[in-house]
């Protein structure tokens, strides 16, 4: 925030006046109380003055009316001194407060490290595209190698050679399973309710209310149960995985595992993957039932169907294959959520903000992967006639 | 044990370290003899921790070699390198205790992985290691429940779990009060005396450098290479390099040492 230094008469406000002290000397009278809360006056006026009058060879200061000062004065002065150096004008610091003089000496004592300063936000469009592309490519190879390593770890698990603590697995299973029940219940009842409601309005036009049961049953079993639990778990558990592994990365805990010759993939990723792959289909099954319950609420409450009618219609509508199709999907989603959470955690940088980013990007990656996989699986099911 | 003809335990040859194309240090050459307390010193950000990461197997050199007892650490098979790494004990800058496990479980993990001890034997060894670092009775505490100094000591206990040949310390006394720092120094010396381990310490604590160091390397961030090496006390007397001198005597009005 820049303030116009001129026209400032109130003595307590920061400002300065310019005056000539002989032909070659510019006198800067600093006045008022310079506090950072008030902003920093601009040096533009002085720059104009120096530029417009080439006779000026010296800048001197007068601080008689200066009441108090903090970093705002220092910032102003450092900028002014820089300006004077650029214009080859001598700045006489004698008139400045002694404390400010010493701090300026300190600030200019160590010359700026060459090459250390990075251009702030002035990348060209092309270089950003280039950097983005390189980022995507290297991110792609990293992702592939992570998936490969996880697969190898899975093979080791099958041969009974993977090493992780069984009690970690138990805790993770509890966290991915039982503790997710309340939220899964709530969401899937509501989803069933919504499905039934939307369907009911249309079907009632044809007097075909009873088919709401088919709609909800098949919709939940084949699609919505798996999808909704997966999205809930991506937000809940995928993010948690990324944050846990990211924090371990920041704390050098993962380094400590590596140097002990314990594979972090075996030790950390594998139990998380197993827990999710085991628990997600169970949650999905549970969500299916809750969704059908939600549908029944609408059917019984709004469409005057009896509970028995609704139950029989549902039972006739859903084949076992429909359930299996949904459960298989949710197993795949479980792998994807665990992979994306753990991948982002392992890629995490070494700062606390990186942990936040890892969690966010785990959720985004997870949801994108879920939706893409769902589309692919739906097409495959269709081709196979499932 | 002592004497100039002690065998070379670690040798670093022409090591260049880089993150991508950003070179941290180049052309590092030094030898660490068995039983040395080898100090890696230099200002903040000059690459001390990075050098340690290269020596313990966490980061591959951009160029150059690291030898342990003549074996080229980075060109052997992964399995063999892991076996070599098992002979290292490492105390990380932040302690790096696994936060979801108790102190006892932290120290027990390497023992369970690499020994055939029964659970009760493991418990006994864990208690012994904890009592060596003055933490007897803290077996069932989680890392978040103890102070920073205690975490460092617990990390040391874990580093010693497998009775390593070489102990690496990354800034062991950083963030500790002078008395705890001194106790840790004493502990390090004690370990060298009693276990005969070789010790590599990253530090910029002058008191520690002179108290425990027998050999050293000084990394400089401006020239991006080592500018001195040898016994720190001799270095103090013989070095004419102004940077080394001002670092070791701490009178550096024009240098920022932090
Ligand atoms: N993962 C990384 N990626 C890029 N640069 C890094 C990374 N880690 C450290 N560096 C840089 O390497 C230099 C040396 O870091 P470090 O070895 O931690 O220094 P110190 O001597 O303080 O232990 C620093 O300039 C730091 O910015
Ligand atoms: Mg460091």
Smallest CA–CA distance from B56 into chain A, residue:
A259
Whether residue B201 has pLDDT greater than 90? yes
- DSSP assigned state of A209: G
Whether residue A217 has pLDDT greater than 90? yes
Split at pLDDT 50, 70, 90, the class of B1 is: very low
Whether residue B257 has pLDDT greater than 70? no
Mean pLDDT of B103-117: 91
Whose C-alpha lies nearest to ligand 1, atom 22?
B45
Split at pLDDT 50, 70, 90, the class of A7 is: very low
Whether residue A8 has pLDDT greater than 60? no
Q: Tell if the CB–CB gap between A252 and B85 is shorter than 8 Å.
A: no
Mean pLDDT of A73-100: 87
Mean pLDDT of A20-45: 86
**pLDDT cut 70: percent of chain B above it:** 95
Mean pLDDT of B21-46: 91
- DSSP assigned state of A38: G
pLDDT at A55: 85
Return mean pLDDT, chain A.
89
Angstroms from A244 CA to nearest CA on chain B: 10
Give tens-digit pLDDT for B41-81.
Answer: 988 889 999 999 999 999 999 999 999 999 999 999 988 99
Closest CA to B69 of B127, B10, B112: B10
Give tens-digit pLDDT for A129-144.
Answer: 998 898 888 888 989 9
Helices A225-233 and A181-205, axial angle in degrees (round to 10)? 140
Query: Using CA atoms, how far apart are residues B26 and B112, in angstroms rounded to an integer?
Result: 39
Choose the mutation target among A113, A259, A266, A351 for the interface with B, i.e. most B CBs under 10 Å: A259
Q: What ligand 1 atom has the least distance to the C-alpha of B47?
A: 17
Mean pLDDT of B206-223: 90
Query: A40-41 and A58-69: which strand pairing?
Result: unpaired
Give tens-digit pLDDT for A248-271.
Answer: 999 999 999 999 888 999 999 999
Least confident of A30-39, A281-290, A313-322: A30-39
Pocket of ligand 1 contains residue B58 by CB under 6 Å: no
Query: Using CA atoms, how far apart are residues A335 and A180, in angstroms rounded to an integer?
Result: 17
pLDDT at A108: 79
Q: Any idea of the CA torsion for B91, B95, B101, B103, to the nearest 10 degrees?
A: 70
Pocket of ligand 1 contains residue B43 by CB under 6 Å: no
Q: Tell if the CB–CB gap between B82 and A256 is shorter than 8 Å.
A: no
Whose C-alpha lies nearest to ligand 1, atom 14?
B47
pLDDT at A2: 41
Give tens-digit pLDDT for B117-159.
Answer: 899 999 999 999 998 888 889 999 999 999 888 898 899 999 9
Whether residue A1 has pLDDT greater than 80? no
- DSSP assigned state of A221: I
pTM: 0.78
Query: Using CA atoms, how far apart are residues A267 and A199, in angstroms rounded to an integer?
Result: 47
Least confident of A28-42, A101-115, A131-145, B98-112: A101-115
Give tens-digit pLDDT for A111-120.
Answer: 666 666 665 6
Set out the domains of chain A in order of their start, with CATH numbers: 15-107 (3.30.750.24), 164-384 (no CATH)
| Residues B178 and B209: beta-carbon distance below 8 Å | no
Phi, psi (rounded to 5 degrees) for A213:
-60, -45
Whether residue B195 has pLDDT greater than 90? no
């Amino acid at each position: 925030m820049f303030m116009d230094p001129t026209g400032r008469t109130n003595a307590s406000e920061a400002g300065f006046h310019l005056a000539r002290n002989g032909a070659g000397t510019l006198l800067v009278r600093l006045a008022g109380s310079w506090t950072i809360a008030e902003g920093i006056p601009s040096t533009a006026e002085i720059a104009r003055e120096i530029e417009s009058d080439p006779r000026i060879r010296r800048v001197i200061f007068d601080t008689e009316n200066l009441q108090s000062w903090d970093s705002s004065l220092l910032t102003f002065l450092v900028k002014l001194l820089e300006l004077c150096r650029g214009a080859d004008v001598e700045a006489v610091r004698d008139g400045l407060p002694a404390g400010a003089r010493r701090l300026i000496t300190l600030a200019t004592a160590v010359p700026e490290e060459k090459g250390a300063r990075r251009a702030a936000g002035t990348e060209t469009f092309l270089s950003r595209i280039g950097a983005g592309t390189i980022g995507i490519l290297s991110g792609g190879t990293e992702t592939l190698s992570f998936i490969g390593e996880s697969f190898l770890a899975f093979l080791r698990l099958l041969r009974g050679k993977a090493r992780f603590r069984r009690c970690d697995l138990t805790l993770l299973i509890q966290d991915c399973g039982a503790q997710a029940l309340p939220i899964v219940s709530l969401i899937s009842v509501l989803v069933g309710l919504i499905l039934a409601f939307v369907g009911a309005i249309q079907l009632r036009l044809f007097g075909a209310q009873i088919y709401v049961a088919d709609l909800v049953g098949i919709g939940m079993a084949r699609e919505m149960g798996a999808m909704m639990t997966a999205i809930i778990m991506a937000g809940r558990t995928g993010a948690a995985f990324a944050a846990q592994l990211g924090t371990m990365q920041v704390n050098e805990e993962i380094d400590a595992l590596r140097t002990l010759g314990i594979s972090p993939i075996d030790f950390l990723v594998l139990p998380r993957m197993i827990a999710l792959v085991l628990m997600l289909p169970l949650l999905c099954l549970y969500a299916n039932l809750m969704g059908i319950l939600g549908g029944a609420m609408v059917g019984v409450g709004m469409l005057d169907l009896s509970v028995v009618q609704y139950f029989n219609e549902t039972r006739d509508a859903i084949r076992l294959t429909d359930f299996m199709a949904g459960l298989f999907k949710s197993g795949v989603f479980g792998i994807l959520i665990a992979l994306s959470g753990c991948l982002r955690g392992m890629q995490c940088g070494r700062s606390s903000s990186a942990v936040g980013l890892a969690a966010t990007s785990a959720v985004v990656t997870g949801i994108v992967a879920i939706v893409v996989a769902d589309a692919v699986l739906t097409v495959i099911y269709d081709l196979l006639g499932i | 044990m002592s004497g100039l003809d002690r065998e070379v335990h670690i040798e670093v040859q022409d090591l260049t370290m880089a993150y991508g194309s950003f070179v941290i240090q180049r052309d590092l050459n030094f030898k660490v003899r068995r039983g040395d307390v080898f100090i890696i010193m230099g200002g903040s950000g000059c690459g001390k921790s990075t050098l340690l990461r290269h020596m313990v197997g966490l980061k591959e050199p951009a160029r150059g070699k690291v030898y342990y007892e003549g074996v080229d650490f980075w060109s052997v098979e992964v399995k063999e390198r892991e076996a070599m790494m098992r002979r290292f004990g490492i105390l990380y800058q932040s302690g790096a205790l696994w936060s979801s496990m108790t102190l006892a479980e932290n120290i027990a993990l390497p023992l369970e992985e690499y020994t055939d001890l029964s659970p009760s034997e493991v418990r006994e060894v864990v208690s012994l290691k904890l009592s060596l670092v003055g933490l007897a009775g803290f077996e069932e505490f989680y890392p978040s429940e103890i102070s920073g100094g205690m975490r460092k000591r617990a990390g040391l206990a874990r580093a010693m779990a497998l009775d390593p040949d070489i102990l690496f310390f990354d800034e062991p006394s950083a963030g500790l009060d002078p008395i705890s720092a001194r106790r840790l120094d004493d502990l390090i010396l004690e370990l060298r005396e009693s276990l005969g381990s070789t010790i590599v310490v990253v530090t910029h604590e002058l008191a520690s450098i002179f108290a425990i160091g027998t050999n050293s390397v000084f990394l400089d961030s401006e020239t991006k290479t080592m500018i001195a090496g040898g016994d720190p006390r001799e270095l103090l007397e013989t070095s004419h390099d102004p940077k080394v001198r001002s670092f070791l005597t701490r009178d550096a009005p024009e240098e920022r040492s932090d």
